[in-house]
Amino acid sequence: MATTTRAQKEALPFRRVTPTRRGQRPAVALGRLNGHLGYFVRRAQIWIFQDFIRTLARIDISPAQFSVLIVIGANHGLSQIEIAAALGIERARLVRLLHRLESRALIRRLPSSADRRRHALQLTPHGRTVLALAKTLAARHEKRLINKLGAEHHQFLLDTLRDF
Amino acid sequence: MATTTRAQKEALPFRRVTPTRRGQRPAVALGRLNGHLGYFVRRAQIWIFQDFIRTLARIDISPAQFSVLIVIGANHGLSQIEIAAALGIERARLVRLLHRLESRALIRRLPSSADRRRHALQLTPHGRTVLALAKTLAARHEKRLINKLGAEHHQFLLDTLRDF
DNA sequence: TATTGTTATACTCTATAACTATA
DNA sequence: TATAGTTATAGAGTATAACAATA
């Protein structure tokens, strides 16, 4: 918003400011980019993550941390490799994510009964409390998305993007 | 979808592998993540970018480089700050992107006639050739997406995600 | 031999801050 | 004073490789 005056300031009046859809985009042609879904998916992802991060800023939970906490909370003693596979992240990266969550006392790594190579992951009581709050804030974020897109479009996006 | 097996899982060998849509996702409950668009947009973005990168691997053009080349090619002597604003990237990051493209002789930074602080950006003849090939390969990538989603869903996604 | 968790490395991306040369 | 391009830094994310303990 309020970025619509950029062009006028420049050399001479010859730079026509086309009134773009939301007054956000400058008068620069995107050419073939307009037909490429990847470009718009990327921009949408950035927008959504920024809103998510802002909404959960006071409990300092990132989208990645949120997804890990949700999956640990919704399952029973998962191993790290199972979580990594479910969320499509590298197991090496998950190690660092879990270190942080463990150092904040949100999760615990218990020895797995069956296989001593594995850890069985759990939320701590404090982790459950924080996750509950995170869910409330995340729902607020999602409501903002629903308002922006309309409930049907939101649901359609959810259904369609699940295929990836 | 496919999150209904949580209870059964906890007991013994009954770890039923629910036949998920594409046989990709393991039998781990995603819980609330299922209602969050950001999660699926992120996964879709990663999938799409990986396919794009693979498809353009032989000319070594990344999604970011492609978007920069497209915008330079579709406009007339843009400044760096205009490109950065159009694509929603930091001007500091654009500097490094352009260094690479310039060192590969795909673009040129010409002095701007009106404002000596600015560069006027152009494709080189070689840049035009590479961009033409990049467009062909990118179209092949996009066709794959259209086949995956169906033409109507693809168009709908394009229209809906443009709002961000 | 293979797998799980771990450490380490490298490269990209994002977010800033600060510098210079121009305006 | 402000802006355009640049440099530098720090943190996240991604992609690998390799190692120890265990299977």
- pLDDT tens digits, one per residue of B132-147: 999 999 999 999 999 9
Which residues have CB atoms below 7 Å from chain C, the nucleic strand? A 46, 50, 79-81, 91-92, 95-96, 98-99, 109, 115, 117-119; B 62-64, 89-90, 92-93, 97, 115-117
- pLDDT tens digits, one per residue of B30-50: 999 999 999 999 999 999 999
Predicted model pTM: 0.85
* pLDDT in the model for residue A59: 96
Q: What distance in Å separates the CA atoms of residue A160 and residue B154, rounded to the nearest whole number?
A: 9
Weakest-pLDDT range from A57-71, A95-109, B10-24: B10-24
Q: What distance in Å separates the CA atoms of residue A101 and residue B155, rounded to the nearest whole number?
A: 40
- pLDDT tens digits, one per residue of B89-109: 999 999 999 999 999 999 999
Nearest to A85 among B26, B49, B71 (CB): B26
- Chain B hits for A11, CB-CB cut-off 8 Å, are 114-115
Nearest C-alpha neighbor of B101 from the set B64, B141, B138, B132: B64
Q: What distance in Å separates the CA atoms of residue A142 and residue B148, rounded to the nearest whole number?
A: 27
- pLDDT tens digits, one per residue of A92-134: 999 999 999 999 999 999 999 889 999 999 999 999 999 999 9
What is the distance in angstroms measured between the alpha-carbon CA of B91 and the sugar C1' of C18? 14
Q: Do the beta carbons of residue A33 and residue B71 sit within 8 Å? A: yes
- The H-assigned helical ranges of chain A are 37-55, 63-74, 80-87, 91-103, 125-149, 151-161
Q: Do the beta carbons of residue A142 and residue A149 sit within 8 Å? A: no
Q: Do the beta carbons of residue B137 and residue B56 sit within 8 Å? A: yes
Q: What distance in Å separates the CA atoms of residue B15 and residue B151, rounded to the nearest whole number?
A: 37
Whether B81 sits with its Cβ under 7 A from any strand D atom: the answer reads: yes
Task: From residue B12, give the alpha-carbon distance in Å to each of A82, A114, B7, B57.
Answer: 17, 11, 11, 45
